[in-house]
Amino acid sequence: MVMSDGEYTRRTVLRRGTAAVSAGALASIAGCGGSNPLGGGGGAYANWLPVPDEIGDSDHYSFTYLDMETIESNEDNLDEDSFGLDTIESFWDPLGFDWEDTSTLLIVSQVTIIEAEFSREDAVSDLEDEDFEEDTDHEGYTIFLGPSESRAFAVGDNTALIGGGYGIEDPVDQLEVVIDAQNGNEDRYGDENEDMSALLGELGGTLDSGSTLEESDNDNPESGAFENMVAQGRTATINGETSDRKWVIVYDEQDDVDTGDLEDWVDANDSDDGEFDGVDDISYNQNGRKGIITGTIDTDDL
């Protein structure tokens, strides 16, 4: 059953989607790839990330990226029950295309961007069937606003964006800001924020996630809280039956990096269902003001 616009808010999508894809996929791992607008080593998807104060009322936000083409080509190596591939389609309801048609999925704060092979005409029809009405055209996209005005879709050629959610007063404006960032008409997070730039430089695989944050004075390595941490991210690169993993902690200063703290984090979280459960060949490194953990994992454990 398709929910109404009022029932199926962006908050609902994130709650269902994050649970479906699991902490191992959306909240805990990362990536990019392919020759498309969202892919590219180190994150050409970063072009879609506007500065935080243009998309919300916070100085920070998180992003999550999935290279769906690589995921599809490795479907036989994934545990579909835990990865929730079919449930990913709920992210873009009521649009009717399948996850196999997608090449990339990116969540930027409360905006979802999907690149896929779909008919623009069919997408418009799907939205109109759910009482979405055309609001405006913007930079090659037609933007539709739902009946409760809490959710909006931007439909382009093989790219769709979804905006709205808790605390968002104007989802149309929200979508326009993200589109403008991709087009180079809006300041970008990685260009304007040195901490985000440092983080993005370490990411690039099949799945990526990351965020900046207020400089932390919390020193509790066992729980993943590090003093003077200003950004954090995770990435996974699927290589058939095994996958490479990387965790990145960006500190305020180079002297703040403590790889011993990173070891404490791993040691406290390598049991069943812990952050590092199933991760082998773990190593610890420092790159400037970044502390980095790398390892490998069986792909069906993602």
| Amino acid type, 45 | Y
Which of 171, 189, 207 is where one domain is finished?
189
* Ramachandran area for residue 16 (φ above 0: left; ψ -120 to 50: alpha; else beta): alpha
Q: What are phi and psi of 289, to 5 degrees?
A: -95, 20
Co-location of 240 and 163 in the same domain: no
Q: Which element (helix H / strand E) includes 39?
A: none
Q: What is the pTM assigned to this prediction? A: 0.86
Co-location of 38 and 164 in the same domain: yes
Co-location of 161 and 119 in the same domain: yes
CA distance 134 to 153: 9
Secondary structure (DSSP) of 102-163? EEEEEEETTEEEEEE---HHHHHHHHHHTT-EEEEEETTEEEEE-TTSSEEEEE-SSEEEEE
Co-location of 147 and 37 in the same domain: yes
Closest CA to 197 of 156, 240, 230, 155: 230
Q: In this structure, is residue 59 part of a structural domain?
A: yes
- What confidence score (pLDDT) does residue 5 get? 41
Q: In this structure, is residue 52 part of a structural domain?
A: yes
- 95 token code pair: 């649009």
Which of 189, 206, 240 is where one domain is finished?
189
CA distance 172 to 47: 19
Co-location of 130 and 272 in the same domain: no
Co-location of 181 and 224 in the same domain: no
Co-location of 142 and 248 in the same domain: no
- 247 token code pair: 């965790």
Co-location of 142 and 228 in the same domain: no
- What confidence score (pLDDT) does residue 43 get? 58
Per-residue pLDDT of the chain in tens (302 residues, 90 and over written 9): 333 343 333 333 333 333 333 333 343 333 333 333 343 334 589 999 999 999 988 999 999 999 999 999 999 999 877 777 878 888 899 999 999 999 999 999 999 999 999 999 999 999 999 999 999 999 999 999 999 999 999 999 999 999 998 888 999 999 999 999 999 999 999 999 999 999 999 999 999 999 999 999 999 999 999 999 999 999 999 999 999 999 999 999 999 999 999 999 999 999 998 999 999 999 999 999 999 999 999 999 98
Q: Is the dihedral of CA 139, 141, 144, 145 positive or negative?
A: negative
Contacts 24+ apart (CB under 8 A), 18-25: 20/84, 20/87, 20/88, 20/90, 21/83, 21/84, 21/87, 21/88, 22/82, 22/83, 22/84, 24/82, 24/83, 24/301, 24/302, 25/66, 25/83, 25/84, 25/207, 25/302
Q: In this structure, is residue 280 part of a structural domain?
A: yes
Q: In this structure, is residue 195 part of a structural domain?
A: no
Q: In this structure, is residue 198 part of a structural domain?
A: no
Q: In this structure, is residue 207 part of a structural domain?
A: no
Q: In this structure, is residue 5 part of a structural domain?
A: no
Strand partners, 134: 144
Can you give the residue range of the structural domain that contains 268? Answer: 217-301
Q: In this structure, is residue 251 part of a structural domain?
A: yes
> Do 30 and 233 meet the contact criterion of CB atoms below 8 Å apart?
yes
CA distance 253 to 280: 29
Q: How many domains in the chain?
A: 2
